[in-house]
Amino acid sequence: MSDPASLRLRYLDDMKSKVLMLACGLYLMLLMAAAQSPDIAKPPQPAEPLRWRDGYVDWRGKFFKPDWQAFKADDGTAFVVDMKSIGQVGSGSMRVVAYRAEEDDFNPSNLISLTFDCKGAFDVASKASMDRIRPVLKQVRSLACH
């Protein structure tokens, strides 16, 4: 008959092994679930240039497959809004990703990420100047704050 201390140590070693295997299994499940996210896809191969219709790369370097809806601003500027990107952030603020569709190839400078409170205040994350973004603001706000 084994003494109780050695039985207890063996039991604890077995439990550590089982907990470690469970943790590894959960980690693998999380990795597999993240790889299957429908909004994040792999960008096209570098043999052909990325076109804005195919998707966009955000400021974090993630590639998104959008659901574009095309618009024309009052001044005739063509732009598209990713309908999947429209969502509430924080208390009452909305986030929208728009793209100024000037040419077929993707140009990161034309990507516009807007956060606003539907009352007039807004924040813009873009490499484009405000003169290039201003025509888009009115329609994007009305779309998100309907």
Q: What is the pLDDT of residues 10-27, one digit of tens each?
A: 777 788 888 888 887 888
Measured distance between the N- and C-terminal CA atoms of the chain, rounded to whole angstroms: 76
Q: Where are the domains of the chain?
A: 1-36, 56-144
Measured CA to CA, the distance from residue 44 to residue 4 in angstroms comes to 62
pLDDT at 40: 56
pTM above 0.85, yes or no: no
> Are 74 and 64 spatial neighbours (Cβ–Cβ below 8 Å)?
no
User: Considering the chain, what percentage of its residues have pLDDT values greater than 90?
Assistant: 4
pLDDT band per the 50, 70, 90 thresholds, residue 68: very high
pLDDT at 37 over 70: no
* CB proximity list for 35: less than 8 A, separation 6 or greater: none
Between 81 and 129, residue with greater pLDDT: 81
* Residue 72, H or E segment: strand 68-72
pLDDT band per the 50, 70, 90 thresholds, residue 67: very high
Between 38 and 127, residue with greater pLDDT: 127
Q: How many CA atoms lie within 13 A of 138 on its CB side?
A: 8
Handedness of CA 123, 129, 66, 31 (dihedral sign): negative
